[in-house]
Structure 1
Amino acid sequence: MLSFIDSYMLWRALPFPVGGAGAELIDTHGDLAEADEYVTTVIRFVERGVFVEAPVDVLSLLKEIMSRLDGITERVSGDSQRVARSQHAYAALLHLVYRQFLEMNPGDSPARG
């Protein structure tokens, strides 16, 4: 299992996936970019210890994107399938990073009341 910092480091080192051809992959690419922006709140936590959640339900957003990409992957082949799988893998990593971040919420600590 990946630790929070391991998954964080993988995400930060991984290039953002390409958009691909076709309206569906262009749409998922844009939605993934929006989700990626929300997940950047994690950077402040790692670099400065500031825990601030994104203003939206990031995990639900990412699950919805991954579900759409699952459907696309089943319908396409070749380069489009590779792009869909790449976007899905990136979304899955974002989901892991953000879920682990939420689990580290210092406000949930019994010591903080």
Structure 2
Amino acid sequence: MKQYLDRLSEIYRAIDRAYSEALRHYNFSCDGCPDNCCVTKFHHHTLVEELYLAEGFKKLDEAELGAIILRAQNVAETHNSSSEDIRIMCPLNENGLCVLYEFRPMICRIHGVP
């Protein structure tokens, strides 16, 4: 399994470099973006991405993990209580930053690229 997660990490680093180049080329910034990816409900990620994200969870202490679980339960309840596509902050977002930024899925890495 480690070989797959290591390979995904390499792919993510390449994506992050390309994303940074695109940001510079288009003079793009996430600041003030009305289409905040952290409030977008994404359904598309792969099993290996899920396993990679799980590696990030292993690095959290109990308090951090508990806070994320509580936020995730609230997000799930909100989504499940409405037939509308509700935009609500990702439970991994804390004070405007992703707690598991290094381990975030590809869609979170490339969302918003022009």
TM-score range with shorter-chain normalisation? 0.3 to 0.5
TM-score by length of 1: 0.35
Bigger RCO (CA 8 Å, 6+ sep)? 2
